[in-house]
Amino acid sequence: MRKIAIIGAGSIVFCKTLMLDIMATKDLEDSEFVLMAPSTTKTSQVNAFADKVIAKNGLKTKVSITTDRREALKDADYVICSFQIGGVQAFELDYKIPLKYGVDQCIGDTLGPGGIFRALRSIPVVLEVAKDMEELCPHAILLNYVNPMAMICWALGETNINFVGLCHGVQTTLDLISGYVDLPKSEIDFVSAGINHMGWFIKLEHKGQDLYPLLRDKFEHPEYYVNEKVRGEVFRHFGYFMTESTGHLSEYVPWFRKNQKALDLYCDEPSFGGESGAYYTWCNYVANKYQDEEILSQESDDLPPRSVEYCAYIIEALETGKTFKFSGNIRNDGMITNLPPECCAEGPVYADRTGLHRTIVGELPPQCAALNLTNINVQRLAVLAAKTGDPETVVQACALDPLTSSVLTLKEIRDMVAEMLESEKQWLPQFAGKTLRPTPTIKIPENVQRAEVPIDPALAIFSRFGELAK
């Protein structure tokens, strides 16, 4: 039996979805799942539910649970990562501390202070998984669902394991586009490329005809524009439609959450997901609701059709040779030629019996690549900080973040980072014993005399202009 290790199987609903997808795939039903989490409180619920589904449907699947990661990984054929280090407790700090300083996040899991600190907590753990895989299952493929996807996969790209990062942003956005242009998504040919949560549909066609004129026309109508104000604005000004919704995208750029005026204009409708702390509020609600309740106890034991998640389709392709094309997150290495080779890029990938294969996209439109690079700059420093434990690099990552830099001064960013590092230190062992350099505010007396130092010639010229003006 093929062995599938799920690291972070305490994510009950998501773990259940992936398992059901695989069990519903005829060629994969004889799989062995090993569910790993720090405790068995939740994985035992998933195990009991899976056993009911297996019995009801007469499957050959086997399921076991463990708290030992190495036991789960030993001789695995596939490894699925879906953990969240620090859980809702750390997520609350990711959201509330920046908000206190004026950085208003909606999702907080990809960029911004929230995404950066999630990376700081998660990257050391995923690198430990990769190191164990190199020893215990060197030929296994890691399917990563841990966010921030681009930063996690950037770090994985510096290891020797075979991996791909998976997200459902492309699939769900294609559903949206299908509705806008009133065509079945199965009839839409597209190419999506960029970075995770900021991929661009650089080609949209139906039977060889460009769909962009129709989509652009739709977004000039209030009844369509109002559904996706942020994505609609970026579409109108940058020329291409993007893979992420208002809530996500509003955090990755400096224009929509920097002050109350912008929030009121573009993120004012809670039903469309742009409100402050939307994702934290939802996660906290779910955690509290099901704290003492077995979520899966009332779930049907029928085997449903496969979901939109790519995981089962990829494993099916690798096992059977049935080619599957999807949007994957991998080390760029020339897939998108105007993004750095070492970054994590999201683009067309296909799987078959011989493995995972990138498709060469070439250059993105320059304005699209430029916007991606504003996020890649942050990702680079966040990955470096996570690996080195250098608090100064955390400050620099936050200082380059488009939203944070639109709201805070460098001194305020440093103060915010210092508070977050202290509040989250239990999940950040790589920073133990390291502190940020203090930067007290310099008070300048009214009649301060300038120090006698060489004057920049350019400043001297401007000084002379001032004298002439008088």
What is d(CA 173, CA 192) in angstroms, rounded to the nearest whole number?
A: 11
CA angle 126, 113, 236 (to 5 degrees): 105
- CA-based nearest residue to 270, from 260, 281, 284: 281
In DSSP notation, 121-159 reads HHHHHHHHHHHHHHHH-TT-EEEE-PSSHHHHHHHHTTS
Instruction: Classify each residue of 167-202 as buried b or exposed e, where b means 16 or more C-beta atoms within 10 Å of its C-beta.
Output: bebbbebbebbeebbeeeeeebebbbbbbbbbbbbb
In sequence order, what are the beta bridge partners of 192? 201
d(CA 303, CA 57): 7
Among residues 168, 206, 350, 357, the one annotated as catalytic is: 168
Catalytic residue among 78, 252, 266, 279: 252
How far lies 102's CA from each of 92, 218, 260, 289, 438, in Å? 15, 35, 10, 30, 21
* Euclidean distance between CA atoms 156 and 165, whole angstroms: 10
Which residues are CB-neighbours of 329 under 8 A, at least 6 positions away? Answer: 144, 149, 150, 153, 164, 165, 166, 167, 196, 344, 345, 346
Q: Pull the structure tokens for residue 319.
A: 């096992």
- Whether 252 is catalytic is yes
Specify the amino acid at residue 396. Q
Tell me the three state secondary structure of residue 309: coil
**Which stretches within 137-240 are classed as H helix?**
149-156, 169-181, 212-218, 222-225, 229-238
Structure tokens at 380: 């680079």
Q: Cα 261 from chain centroid?
A: 27
Query: Is 357 annotated in the active site?
Result: no
Active-site residues, by number, are: 168, 252
